[in-house]
Amino acid sequence: MKSLPIKKIEIFLLLIGFVSILGQIVLLRELNIAFRGIELVYTLAFSAWLMGTALGVSFGKRNYVPSDKIIMTLFLLIGILFPLDLFFIRNLHILFGGINGAYLPFGKQIFSMFTALLPISIVAGILFQWIAKKYVASEKTLAGAYAIESLGGLTGGAASSLLIMAGLQNFEITLICSVICLAVFVISIEKALYRYTFSLMLMILASGLLFYNKSLDNWMTSEGYGRKVESIDTPYNRITIATSYNQVSFFEDNALTYETETFDAEEYVQLATLQSASPDNVLVLGGGFRGIIDQLITLPVSKIDYIEFNKRMFRFIKDHLPEKFKISLSSQKVNIIFEDPRLYLGNKNRYDIILSGMPEPASGQNSRFYTKEFFEEISTCLNKNGIFAFKLPSSENFWTPSLQKRNASIYKSLKGVFKDIVVLPGTSNIFITSNDSLIRDPVILSERLRSRRNENKLVTPEYINYIYKNDRFNEIAGLLDDSTASINTDIKPICYQYTLAIWLTKFSPGIEQWDFPTREITQTTKFKMFLGIMIFMLILAGRKWKTFRRSFLVFIAGFQGMVLEIILLLNYQMHNGILFQNIGILIMGFMFGLASGSWIVNRIIKKYIGFLLITSSIIMYLLLGVLISSGDINTFLYSLIALVISGFLTSGIFAFASRFNVQDQKRIISPLYSSDLLGGVAGSIIANFIFIPVLGFGITAQFMAFPSLLLFFFL
């Protein structure tokens, strides 16, 4: 092979950035699905990818410049790894001896996650390091290589969102990544005969995969279900439908959410609506296809507005519903509106009953339907004696401390808005609220049920008497009132922390004894936290001041950049709920900031630039903290602008550290880039599991100004 010209090196830097971000998003989505849609796993997987990339960047001697043939071989390897990784992730449950419907043991989850991500991320890290060395060997700079790779990441992030919106499946996007890498290898072959032969083979392979991609996709998905399935990737999740005789089961991100033979909808709708003497118009927020609409049309109501935020999911599922559900959804009473439920509530239309069919608050996407702000929006849309109800998966006989606090957090959020609350016990608790007094007398409720002449299979007068008179009814009311749990809000989503504990208790029951913070943190406590972490960082860096000064500067910048990126993404998710689709474009904004920051600072290397960047970072963190806390950063445009600025300052500090008083660029590629990635790993884990649940979005953003003060000591 001929030596790569500088233009080709730049193209390869661009491509590795593009493929890394696009492939990373696809594989992390697959892991999120494989582990039942737990958003916290997504964060751990993201950290695993960064760790693998850091290991790859640190691989080999600092002055080693590889041959062109080795670089092309790595492109071939990564092109093969993408589809293999996808197949491996989709079959984790089978490969590691999982039981259908249950989680893998926690140790196996972590092991399988790292097994899936480390090989491909290590290869990606090595590939960037070696291409960057060839770029630097051509009398260029590391900052320039970082800028070009970030530009590739920018386009990869944009492509991930655009391809999802265009209706492409994860499997198809994976094939795109693979074909790009294989094409790079093929066109670099020097001998024409071999090049044409491999090109023909690649075209045949790509054509075959394109023609049979749907069949292959369903086959790879069905391995975990043991029966005929169909699946579709939507902007929010993966929906899988499995059929067995006359029963249809619906899975969201591999977790069973509904099956057509259950009585859950009857129990929920009938018990909730009995609190209204004469319901006329009803609003349903999501989940109407799960039997909620079918139950409502049996009631004396004249109008049902059904808000469904996932249009692609609804159309896919509707074709597989039992005939009676299809008829219900087509009723003249039902008005189906495709819009985000929280945005729709801004219209302030009035209803007698509002029923929420949203999933439990196990993610940022769903947690925003269980906050005090959401309940306030609901309250403004209810008539004077209006009823609001929702279901919350629970435990029928025993609540762990974490489950109690999760339920109590939502209960207290409701209590701050509504006058009266009734919580009905069961495997799923039914919360019924109103600004009027609710009925707790089963005799009155039973008379209302008889007057409606419904032919219920579960909810009968006897069942109503059992629900309101059994000892658990009063017991859980006491547990909720006596709990010290914090209120769940948009800015401080404490449910994240409780959900983490609930999830971990599935693998280690002792964790149920963890005592998470439940009270508001005082200013004195916050100051002590800030001071303690600053002192720890100084001690950490002060052991070998001269040796680690430059790497520590980059580590802190990477740490701060990742924390702020997560805050802005989750804050956007909390307000808009469509992060799964738009995450690529938002990450594109961050990558654009990274690319432009490196490119600009690379051309102005003066010591005062370092002071200017750090000062600007402090101002930005303090200002963003105030704006996020006030709710002013809540749109796509504002979030995108904030991410661009954050990326610019993060990469600007990286570029400064890589150029200021540096004689040999090749020697700093590994230590600086790996420090940047490890800072991102630390920021990802600490932000999700500590800072955001305890401090909230705004205060966490402001806290990031304090580590910036340390950076002045490392200039």
> What pLDDT, in 10s, does the model give residues 168-184?
888 888 888 888 888 88
**E-state strands within 503-625:** none
- Mapping DSSP to helix (H, G, I), strand (E, B) and coil, where does residue 169 land? coil
Give residues with Cβ within 8 angstroms of 73, minimum separation 6. 185
List the Cα angle 268/307/368 in 5-degree steps.
80
pLDDT of residue 224: 57
Same-domain status, 475 and 571: no
**Using an 8 Å Cβ cutoff, are 153 and 584 in contact?**
no
Lowest mean pLDDT among 60-74, 212-226, 443-457, 578-592: 212-226
pLDDT tier for residue 519 given thresholds of 50, 70 and 90: very low
Same-domain status, 16 and 157: yes
Domain that holds residue 352: 272-505
Same-domain status, 212 and 300: no
Residue 434 has pLDDT above 90, yes or no: yes
Cα dihedral 298, 304, 307, 313 sign: positive
pLDDT of residue 545: 46
Same-domain status, 69 and 188: yes
Q: Which of 505, 528, 544 is the last residue of a domain?
A: 505
pLDDT of residue 515: 52
pLDDT tier for residue 335 given thresholds of 50, 70 and 90: very high
Residue 488: closest CA among 417, 563, 423, 438: 417
Residue 146 has pLDDT above 50, yes or no: yes
Residue 136 has pLDDT above 60, yes or no: yes
**Using an 8 Å Cβ cutoff, are 152 and 18 in contact?**
yes
Same-domain status, 628 and 495: no
Same-domain status, 436 and 379: yes
pTM here? 0.76
**How do residues 90-115 score in pLDDT, each as one tens digit?**
888 778 877 666 677 777 888 888 89
Is 248 within the bounds of a domain?
no
Same-domain status, 571 and 707: yes
- Mapping DSSP to helix (H, G, I), strand (E, B) and coil, where does residue 253 land? coil
- Which two tokens mark 141? 């700079």
Beta bridge partners of residue 388, listed in sequence order: 354, 433
CA-based Rg of the chain, rounded to a whole angstrom? Answer: 27
- Which two tokens mark 267? 């129990």
DSSP assignment of 91-120 equals THHHHTTPPTTSPPPHHHHHHHHHHHHHHH
Is 249 within the bounds of a domain?
no
**How do residues 520-567 score in pLDDT, each as one tens digit?**
455 555 555 555 655 555 555 554 445 467 777 888 888 888 888 888
Give residues with Cβ within 8 angstroms of 444, minimum separation 6. none
* Alpha-carbon gap, residue 414 to 487, rounded angstroms: 9
pLDDT of residue 678: 83
Same-domain status, 591 and 483: no
Same-domain status, 465 and 578: no
Residue predicted with more confidence, 362 or 50: 50
pLDDT tier for residue 509 given thresholds of 50, 70 and 90: low
**Using an 8 Å Cβ cutoff, are 367 and 406 in contact?**
no
DSSP assignment of 511-529 equals GGG-----SPPPHHHHHHH
Q: Which of 505, 528, 554 is the last residue of a domain?
A: 505
- Which two tokens mark 404? 């109690």
Residue predicted with more confidence, 194 or 12: 12
* Alpha-carbon gap, residue 299 to 454, rounded angstroms: 8
Residue 275: closest CA among 392, 386, 428: 386
394-414 burial code (b ≥16 CB/10 A, e <16): bbeeebbbbbbbbbbbbbbbb
pLDDT of residue 269: 93
**How do residues 619-642 score in pLDDT, each as one tens digit?**
998 998 888 887 778 777 888 899
Is 605 within the bounds of a domain?
yes
Q: Give the chain's domain count.
A: 3
Residue predicted with more confidence, 615 or 609: 615
Q: In what order do the strands lie in the sheet with 247-252?
A: 229-233, 238-244, 247-252, 255-259
Residue predicted with more confidence, 219 or 385: 385
pLDDT of residue 518: 45
Mean pLDDT of the chain: 80
Alpha helices in 138-288 (DSSP H): 142-165, 170-187, 192-222, 264-273
Same-domain status, 159 and 207: yes
Is 482 within the bounds of a domain?
yes
Same-domain status, 442 and 549: no
* Alpha-carbon gap, residue 667 to 450, rounded angstroms: 82
The CB density around residue 324, as the number of other CB atoms within 10 Å, is 10
Same-domain status, 542 and 605: yes
Give the domain CATH number at 678: 1.20.1250
List the Cα angle 479/484/487 in 5-degree steps.
105
pLDDT of residue 225: 59
pLDDT of residue 514: 54
* Alpha-carbon gap, residue 134 to 140, rounded angstroms: 9
Q: Which of 505, 537, 561 is the last residue of a domain?
A: 505
Is 230 within the bounds of a domain?
no
Is 254 within the bounds of a domain?
no
Lowest mean pLDDT among 256-260, 486-490, 506-510: 506-510
Is 260 within the bounds of a domain?
no
The CA–CA distances, whole Å, from 330 to 274, 455, 563 equal: 24, 21, 46
Give the domain CATH number at 368: 3.40.50.150
Token look-up 């400064």 returns: 656
283 backbone dihedrals φ, ψ, rounded to 5°: -115, 130
Is 246 within the bounds of a domain?
no
Residue 137 has pLDDT above 70, yes or no: yes
